[in-house]
Amino acid sequence: MDWEEGSVPWGDGRDDLSRRDVLKRSFGAVAFVCSFDLATQARPAKRTAAAIRAQAGSPFQPFRAELQVPPTLLPERRTRSLERYVLDMREGTAEVLHGMQTPVLGYDGLFPGPTIRARRGVKTEIRQVNAAGRALNVHLHGGVTRPDSDGHPHDFIPPGDSRTYHYDNVQHAATLWYHDHAHGETSQTLFAGLAGFYLLSDDLESGLELPQDEYDVPLMIQDRSFNADGSFRYVLDLDRGFRGDTLLVNGQVAPRMRVEQRLYRLRFLNASNARAYKLRLGNGRPMLQIGSDGGLLPKPIARTEIPMEPAERVDVLVDFSDFGRGSKLVLQNVGGEASTTAVMRFDVVRGGAEEARVPKRLQPAAKLPPVNAERTFPLTFHGLGSARWEISERVFGMDRVDVRPRRGTTELWTFVNNSTRMHPMHLHGYHFRVVSTNGRFPHPADRGWKDTVAVHPNQSVTVRPYFDYFGGRYVFHCHAAEHGDMSMMGQMEVVA
Ligand code: C2O
Ligand code: CU
Ligand code: CU
């Protein structure tokens, strides 16, 4: 379902309502607008989810489920310069809670979707078949992608149709992910399960002898709530964004993972609608961060706490040979509420032959062309009449271009957060360096290539995007899915 600027269904022009009232009213309206609502498919049940949670040995008990790693998708055809894949976007079920089936919307019906492994210099083609009964499109998040394959909100795949996305894989190795970008409905489709990893490698990365195969583990962190029959329960909160009471890693409730006494590469992705995390190993032992959104950092950085806003990726190395056999290390979410403090657990099971090592240097920082323009984007909540989130006092306009950067240049973009919520601001098609946060240097781990940056209340964050590679129309937006949907998104056209 599409809605356009000005046609937001609950905007009645009245301006004498408190924000609280407006938000309350918008709940009902949104439930009506979003035709796809897994909660409504739930059978009425006698026991509440809270009652199930309280039970000992309940499916919500952390560290009960074994970590699952999403399957790697096999190409349908492969040549030296091209790999061809097919994916079906459709309904399926997943055993998220032990012994229960949760209806999901997934790539090949899976939650999370299968992992695509791509290599720099080898193109990828993915035919996406829309068997989901609703308009969808696919965005490769963090991908340097031509505009017509980027999943722009004006491109969608009608139900029953398919579309082939072309990825040139011109950029450096990075942890990317693909997800739905249906206009105004991403909070629903992402929540329903449409997300998967896209791991891009290159020669530089391979030369570093980092942990590989089963020692290179993608970990998708999300929060969900449930109905008593095991179905996902979505409650709209346009202000904060969705907050679930249960943490999932790769679709399992706070799972445990058996690890050998050796070095691992863990690739964290925050694929939650709106929840931020602060990751900490139980014993406060530092993790070595080697990569962020756009790929490898210049050198590893030891961190005891790693904040992750929606859509951000963090690659770390953890050496489990530092721990005795039988050690159990909890990965915590510092500052989470009671049921969202435990993310997962690592159970050290036996010695592993050590082949991987920690490189001293990773990837040199690229030189940037000079700054060609400076822009400021105030971020605000508009609570009167019709509740909405705005960039530069505008909601998204499909046919309006907000900025026209020149291809081959860099610019300075300053996001000024004048609201009470955090906004993970994201650019399609390009990467940026974080220049400063409230005038100060960013954390060293945030000085590599990024595509999403946290802008906290009262913060002003300056980033320096580099408009390299392709030109054309792309969007930039807040990645708190509810904010992006309503309608914290702008459009840029990168011109020659
Ligand atoms: Cu994950 Cu428009 O983004
Ligand atoms: Cu993106
Ligand atoms: Cu936001």
Domain with residue 346: its CATH number is 2.60.40.420
> Would you state the pLDDT for residue 49?
66
Whose atoms come closest to the Cα of 477: which ligand? 1
Ligand 1 center from residue 213 Cα (angstroms): 27
The whole-model pTM stands at: 0.90
- Integer Cα distance of 427 and 142 in angstroms: 8
Ligand 3 center from residue 13 Cα (angstroms): 23
Pair 279, 391 in one domain: no
Pair 377, 344 in one domain: no
> Would you state the pLDDT for residue 55?
67
The vertex-464 CA angle with 470 and 457, nearest 5°, equals 125
In a domain, 122, yes or no: no
| 118 DSSP assignment | E
Task: Using the 3D structure, point to which of 351, 383, 410 is the last residue of a domain.
Answer: 351
In a domain, 1, yes or no: no
> Would you state the pLDDT for residue 54?
64
Cβ-based neighbour number of residue 242 at 10 Å: 23
**Which residue, 124, 119, 80, 88, is CA-closest to 106?**
88
Q: Which residues contact 294 (CB under 8 A, 6 or more apart)?
A: 142, 171, 172, 174, 431, 448, 449, 450, 451
In a domain, 31, yes or no: no
- Integer Cα distance of 296 and 431 in angstroms: 13
In a domain, 245, yes or no: yes
Sign of CA dihedral 447, 449, 454, 458: positive
Nearest CA to ligand 1 atom 3: 141
Instruction: Quote the tokens at residue 207.
Output: 């030369």
CA atoms within 13 Å, Cβ hemisphere of 469: 19
Pair 316, 385 in one domain: no
CB-ligand 1 contact for 179 (6 Å cutoff):
yes
CB-ligand 1 contact for 423 (6 Å cutoff):
no
Question: For the chain, what is the total number of helices (H) and then of strands (E)?
Answer: 5, 30
CB-ligand 1 contact for 477 (6 Å cutoff):
yes
In a domain, 237, yes or no: yes
Pair 381, 472 in one domain: yes
The DSSP H or E segment spanning 490 is: strand 489-494
**Which residue, 118, 73, 117, 65, is CA-closest to 94?**
65
Pair 297, 404 in one domain: no
Pair 381, 346 in one domain: no
CB-ligand 1 contact for 426 (6 Å cutoff):
yes
CB-ligand 1 contact for 134 (6 Å cutoff):
no
Sign of CA dihedral 446, 452, 457, 460: positive
Give the nearest ligand 1 atom to 179 CA.
1
Ligand 2 center from residue 380 Cα (angstroms): 21
CB-ligand 1 contact for 483 (6 Å cutoff):
no
Pair 217, 342 in one domain: yes
CB-ligand 1 contact for 30 (6 Å cutoff):
no
Pair 279, 243 in one domain: yes
In a domain, 51, yes or no: no
Ligand 2 center from residue 43 Cα (angstroms): 35
Pair 346, 387 in one domain: no
Nearest CA to ligand 1 atom 1: 141
Whose atoms come closest to the Cα of 143: which ligand? 2
Pair 381, 335 in one domain: no
Pair 467, 410 in one domain: yes
Whose atoms come closest to the Cα of 379: which ligand? 3
The DSSP H or E segment spanning 389 is: strand 388-391
CB-ligand 1 contact for 311 (6 Å cutoff):
yes
> Would you state the pLDDT for residue 385?
79
Segments in 11-105 forming alpha helices (H): 19-33, 49-54
The SS3 call for residue 438 is: coil
> Would you state the pLDDT for residue 351?
75
**Domain extent for 480:** 371-494
CB-ligand 1 contact for 183 (6 Å cutoff):
no
Ligand 2 center from residue 315 Cα (angstroms): 18
In a domain, 90, yes or no: no
Ligand 2 center from residue 142 Cα (angstroms): 5
Q: How far is CA 143 from the centre of its chain?
A: 13
CB-ligand 1 contact for 141 (6 Å cutoff):
yes
Ligand 3 center from residue 276 Cα (angstroms): 12
Pair 347, 218 in one domain: yes
Give the nearest ligand 1 atom to 311 CA.
1
CB-ligand 1 contact for 139 (6 Å cutoff):
yes
- Mean pLDDT, contiguous 10-residue spans, the chain (496 residues): 26 26 31 32 53 72 96 97 98 96 98 98 98 97 98 94 98 98 97 98 96 97 96 96 97 97 97 98 93 98 98 97 93 94 96 81 95 98 89 95 98 98 98 97 95 98 97 98 97 97
Q: Which residues contact 21 (CB under 8 A, 6 or more apart)?
A: none
> Would you state the pLDDT for residue 152?
93
In a domain, 8, yes or no: no
Q: Into how many domains does the chain fold? A: 2
